[in-house]
Amino acid sequence: MQAGPSIPFQPASRLPDSAFEILAPEGRELRLFSACVEQLATGLQWAEGPVWFGDGRYLLWSDIPNDRILRWDDCSGQVSVFRQPAGNANGHARDAQGRLVSCEHLGRRVTRTELDGRITVLADRFSEKPLNSPNDITCAPDGSIWFTDPEFGISGDWEGAPAQREQPHGVYRIDPVNGELQRVIADLAGPNGLAFTPEGRLLVVESRAQPHRLIWSYAVDGASVSDKHLLIDAEGPGAFDGIAVDTAGRLWCGFGGGGQPGVDPALLDGVRVYSPQGQLLAHIHLPERCANLCFGGAKNNRLFMASSHSLYALYVNARGAVR
């Protein structure tokens, strides 16, 4: 089986862990004095899409080029293959019934894994044309499923298969009652990570706009979005990816360098934390670029970070917003 590089990692020997950099006074309360970044797994090609299953005390996440979904067990610390092949799965979430819902690049579709293991296709076409490559996914309080659909998975063989784009880049909603697919946003360049604020009234979406990477917020009313607002501008060479939201509405954003000449990726790779108003509060430095992240653990205060070739974790003084 093809494997990726194993990244050497040494946990912090001094406390507090200097990897958690405070960038504003409000960020100080998020760092736990005796908590350190841990490397839970390494040797992947491109890690993405972590999702926590508290009822089983395990985490699932994707290794897209290796076409597998991996499972990390909280009790034993063991890593195993949950599914392979996996349709070059990327983002994952849990629906209102606790079932796994996944974005698959290869089949250009969104699927649901039933409780008996069967796979149901929730969406693969819109207006009689195939989707591009569903990327990241989240669930709204009303039970609807929202996902982004850029073209990353059809741009080559690495994370899917080459194909012609037949849809604009978009954000979609799957109705919780009738399963109807609706394109709710069609004016973003490369929509990627997305998340709802705790009360579900705002949707935040990351966009690969140029020259800067942006995070937009939208007011949500059922299947309608309005009041598009630029919440965060990366304002530099770094790029956002996946987004997790805590119970206070803070945004925890996967972040990393884009390979720009003269830019040290060590200053950019990791997780950036923002207030609900978009103020930069902290940066968690990692040895690799963080693609996506989620909260989990027994108290929902452990941040799991899928980062290039590895999976990292850190206990923080915040709890993830429960869906």
Angstrom distance (rounded) from CA 313 to CA 78: 14
pLDDT at 259: 65
pLDDT at 72: 98
pLDDT at 323: 65
pLDDT at 266: 78
CB contact set of 296 (below 8 Å; sequence gap of 6+): 50, 52, 54, 59, 302, 304, 320
pTM of the model: 0.97
- What is the set of domains in the chain, with CATH numbers? 20-315 (2.120.10.30)
Q: Give mean pLDDT in consecutive 10-residue pieces for the chain, a chain of 323 residues.
A: 82 96 98 98 98 98 98 98 98 97 98 97 98 98 97 96 97 98 96 96 88 89 96 89 98 86 83 97 97 98 98 98 80
pLDDT at 131: 98
CB contact set of 168 (below 8 Å; sequence gap of 6+): 186
pLDDT at 258: 66
CB 61 within 8 A of CB 70: yes
Task: Name the CA radius of gyration of the chain, rounded.
Answer: 18
Angstrom distance (rounded) from CA 311 to CA 308: 8
Instruction: Tell me, letter by letter, the H, E, C secondary structure of the chain.
Output: CCCCCCCCCCCCCCCCCCCEEECCHHHHHHCCCCCCCEEEEECCCCEEEEEEECCCCEEEEEECCCCEEEEEECCCCCEEEEECCCCCEEEEEECCCCCEEEEECCCCEEEEECCCCCEEEEECEECCEECCCCCCEEECCCCCEEEEECCHHHCCCCCCCCCCCCCCCEEEEECCCCCCEEEEECCCCCEEEEEECCCCCEEEEEECCCCCCEEEEEEEECCEEEEEEEEEECCCCEEEEEEEEECCCCEEEEEEECCCCCCCHHHCCEEEEECCCCCEEEEEECCCCCCEEEEECCCCCEEEEEECCEEEEEECCCCECCC
